Amino acid sequence: MAELKALFQPIKIGNIEVKNRIRLSPMGLGYAEDGRAGEKFKSWYEERAKGGTGLLTWVLWPYRLEHGNFPWIYSDEFIPGLRKTVDVVHTYGAKIIAQVGTGYGWSFDDRPVEFIGPSGVSLMGKRLGPPFRVGTATTPARMRERALTIDEIHKMVEGYGDAGRRIREAGFDGINIMTGAGYTIGRFISSLTNKRTDEYGGPLENRMRLFREIFENIKKKAGEDFTITCKISGSQFIEGGYTLEDCANEIVPMMEKIGISAVDVVVGWHEGSDKGLGMLTNSVPEGKYLYLGEAIKKKVKIPVIGGARTNDPRIAEEAIAQGRIDMITWARPLIADPELPNKVKEGRLEDIRPCIVCCRCLESVDEEGGIICSVNPRTGEEWQYPAEPEPAKKPKKVFIVGSGPGGMQAAITATQRGHKVTLYEKSDKLGGQLHSSSIAPYKQLEAGLRDYLAAQVRKNGVEVKLNTEATLETISE
């Protein structure tokens, strides 16, 4: 296989020198404790930095939420916990920026969190609540979008600027303003949700005013040299909303003129997914949405980050080498395997634990304990279960019955701890139910998990007995 070189070329984003073209996407992890970042966050981000990711992005909330499992930055008291994670990321030569703007809510003064927007326009029909549950009110009485007043908009702008100052004090290398997915700032940009008649509504220049004021306030408080990037949906994919042409020809060029140092292009709004738009599911072909970033890259000079549902590093390599995008963004692939970048660089593609695009991480984002992963049992538990298992104090003979994913992973881990493992499988091949489950439509990726685990069983020297049913007699042989 040809060496993948484009992925490992350095790139400069504003004042940030990044060692490669791999970015960890911002995502809600749900690992905070009363809004504070602790050991769970630190270990999670450390492992991804150690695994070779060049630029990591961490979602922070500049306002108080109803629950504390997402990390906050509305007060100086949160800076020390954040700084511990930032410092450990930097020890691996990686850079880290914070994202603000995720969610549909805000909490003004001592009032509870509310679902807010430019005009109180819902695209959800009769359905109550926001299009996506992260970062907004959960109480039914406050789950209808309320139009902001001018005074409240000004308070939000100041809140973002204060968050920017704290983010810099915590040691972050930059900040990303979220305007995609249909969250609050993006709802101001779209004429479909912004029906205001004041200075924040009407022509695009007015609809961009909130973004511009937030950008300027962050620069004022965090420093003119502080790097600011932006995340935007390349198209709303909703009838009447802005299109890719609008985004590429008008919106992003205006953001570039305002001063952003890079743009991260994602797929659509959450409301669009309810109208049949596949964004992240396993029914979406690899690399399907690279064209969004490619179209925008033709219209701007700043780096363009893209790659939603582009998990295969070979496709990412080709997209960067061809100049379609400047940087690949990976979320779930780096949840599944934190060492993905290092393995790609070393040419060990068969050792990459594959994401099967089951969306279990998305489903568990606001459950107690935060996100979990169907293929990486250590996700969220890195702080107590190191990547290299602790050697057993007394190695034993271990017999494992069945070579499904659980059996194979148990055999791998037990062998790594020093036990002598024998894996029994009554059929003629490893994999268990993964053979049949991968036949179903859009489940072919499960075959990749099967092959990965089987390869690791072989590489770890597990004794495998195929066509052998585990009985007292066969085990005693």
The model's pLDDT over 172-200, given as tens digits with 9 standing for 90+, comes to 999 999 999 999 999 999 999 999 999 99
pTM (two decimals): 0.96
Contact at 8 Å (CB) between 40 and 48?
Answer: no
Category of 221 on φ-ψ map: left (φ > 0), alpha (ψ -120 to 50) or beta:
alpha
Q: Residue 258 — very low, low, confident or very high, per pLDDT cuts 50/70/90?
A: very high
Q: Residue 133 — very low, low, confident or very high, per pLDDT cuts 50/70/90?
A: low
CA distance 236 to 262: 20
- pLDDT by residue (tens digit) across 91-115? 999 999 999 998 899 999 988 899 9
Q: What is the pLDDT of residue 271?
A: 87
273, pLDDT greater than 70: no
12, pLDDT greater than 90: yes
Q: What is the pLDDT of residue 135?
A: 64
Contact at 8 Å (CB) between 131 and 274?
Answer: yes
Question: Which amino acid is located at 42 in the chain?
Answer: K
Range in 106-115, 158-167, 214-223, 399-408 with the lowest mean pLDDT: 106-115
365, pLDDT greater than 80: yes
128, pLDDT greater than 80: no
Q: Which residues contact 476 (CB under 8 A, 6 or more apart)?
A: none
132, pLDDT greater than 80: no
Mean pLDDT of 377-395: 94
Query: What's the Rg (C-alpha) of the chain?
Result: 24
Q: Residue 376 — very low, low, confident or very high, per pLDDT cuts 50/70/90?
A: very high
CA-closest candidate to residue 175, choices 60, 30, 44: 60
Phi and psi at 290, nearest 5°, equal -60, -25
pLDDT above 90 coverage of the chain, percent: 85
Mean pLDDT of 218-228: 98
Q: Which long-range contacts (CB under 8 A, 24 or more apart) does 150-153 make?
A: 150/198, 150/200, 152/106, 152/108, 152/116, 153/200, 153/210
Mean pLDDT of 373-385: 95
Contact at 8 Å (CB) between 305 and 97?
Answer: no
Q: Residue 313 — very low, low, confident or very high, per pLDDT cuts 50/70/90?
A: very high
Instruction: Tell me how many degrees the CA angle 266-269-270 measures, rounded to the nearest 5.
Output: 115
Q: What is the pLDDT of residue 129?
A: 73
Q: What is the pLDDT of residue 275?
A: 56
Handedness of CA 26, 265, 165, 24 (dihedral sign): positive
pLDDT above 70 coverage of the chain, percent: 98
Q: Residue 1 — very low, low, confident or very high, per pLDDT cuts 50/70/90?
A: low
Name the token pair of 338: 């934190």
Mean pLDDT of 159-164: 98
